Amino acid sequence: MQAVLVLVLSVIVLARAQASYEIKITNREISLNLKEEKMVDIEAICFNESNGYTVLEFIVQNKDMIKVEPAIIMLEPINKTYTFYVEGTSPGHTEVLIALVDQSIKLKSLYMIVDVYKYVSLSVFSQVVGWIYIIFWGTAYYPQIYLNFKRKSVVGLNFDFVALNIIGYIFYGMFILGVYFAPAIQDEYFSRNPRGLIPVKINDVVYNIHGIFAISVTILQCIVYEKGNQTVSIFARLIIAFICLFFIIVMALAGFGVIHWLDSLYFCSYVKVLNTALKYLPQAYMNYKRKSTQGWSIGLVLLQLCGGVCSLWQMVLDSYNYDDWVSIFGNPTKFLVGLLNIVLPSFFIVQHYCLYRKRS
């Protein structure tokens, strides 16, 4: 019935002079509870005078998840704001393409992303858990900084851990800052994902910059405080050299147009996952050789572990609430970093509280 109505209206409209429009929507991202209805405004700006009307329709990707009323809007040849309603009927994620029936009228791609969740309380709780794991990971380095300051010594803190950690944050920061601040990178992302949203938020930017600052303070402590005969090992230097060589090759490929600049930044972000897997190994081996964890803050380990648990917990909560279990593996970087921050710190807990408890 809707298709017939659109066809009839289109025939009527095409028989008359057309107006040129710019369409703006108030909300491009909407979250709904089941059976909840939200009102959305859409603004049509007409650029030329005409007696004709234009048909605007809403094309829902997953029609079983939401209902849009009215399904079509007759745009008058004047500047006017129209209202439509979106109701959640089934949990999940879907897109709504907003298009003109007359394809001869050029209109910039316009869409909405609608998330329908089962329970509003679970949605709020998920957001709280998300901020908790950011706080855990953001403050994880301060126990080590305080311990170094208190002892006026960094003996027991492995320099490989510090060196690999700062490299991971710097390379991940290239991805974060590039995608968030560079218009050319954003244009490239949207050309590849025309209905997508920028995958970097302001809290990602703050978290990364703060992490670089905290590790830089630790590096300064390593220079100023007593360090014994500690230095960055050949193992860590080779890894860093390999990463830098990889970076040069990736940038050269992007510069010569072999790969896109966006892909080069994605490759930089994968260095963070590699570093998370490798950075703890030198510290674990050093504790094993010394048969002690003295000088290595267990507070850092516990906060990293709690952050990893909360990170994966949020993914599970969202997957259940939105009935979208595939999304757990849709963000592999977050999943792997969260998992590694559970498995690897657990080993240090065993070292500190079980294996080398007396000596620590």
- The answer to whether residues 146 and 270 belong to one domain is yes
Residue with structure tokens 């964890």? 293
Domain tally for the chain? 2
Strand partners, 187: none
pLDDT value of position 238: 95
Give me the domain span that covers residue 68: 2-117
**Would 154 be classed as within a structural domain?**
yes
Low-confidence ranges of the chain (pLDDT < 70): 1-21, 47-52, 103-104, 106-107, 109, 193-197, 326-327, 329-331, 358-360
Do 104 and 130 lie in a common domain? no
Q: Cα(344)–Cα(280) distance, rounded to whole angstroms? A: 7
Nearest-angstrom CA–CA distance, 267 and 237: 20
* Whether 146 and 282 share a structural domain: yes
What is the residue whose two structure tokens read 């089941």?
34
Q: Does 82 share its domain with 146?
A: no
DSSP letter for each residue of 42-74? EEEEE-S--S--EEEEEEESSTTTEEEESSEEE
| Statement to judge: residues 318 and 204 lie in one domain | yes
Residue 77 forms part of a structural domain: yes
* Residue 45 and residue 139 in one domain: no
Identify the helix (H) or strand (E) that includes residue 95: strand 92-100
Same domain, 326 and 182: yes
Choose one of 56, 88, 117: the last residue of a domain: 117
* Claim to verify: residue 19 and residue 157 sit in the same structural domain: no
Q: Are 25 and 110 in contact (CB under 8 A)?
A: yes
pLDDT of residue 204: 81
Spatial contact of 214 and 165, defined as CB atoms under 8 Å apart: no
pLDDT tens by residue, 144-192: 999 999 999 999 999 999 999 999 999 989 998 998 899 888 888 877 7
Give me the residues paired with residue 29 across strands: 113
The CATH number of residue 106's host domain is 2.60.40.10
pLDDT for 202-254, tens place per residue?
A: 878 888 999 999 999 999 999 999 998 999 999 999 999 999 999 999 999 99
Residue with tokens 């994902």: 193
- Judge if 81 and 7 occupy the same domain: yes
- Same-domain pairing of 170 and 37: no
Bridge partner residues of 153 (DSSP): 226
Element housing 25 (H / E): strand 21-25
151 lies in the same domain as 218 = yes
Mark which of 87, 117, 147 sits at the end of a domain.
Answer: 117
Q: Final residue of a domain: which of 70, 87, 117? A: 117
Indicate whether 82 and 108 sit together in one domain: yes
- In the three-class reduction of DSSP (H, G, I as helix; E, B as strand; rest coil), residue 101 is classed as coil
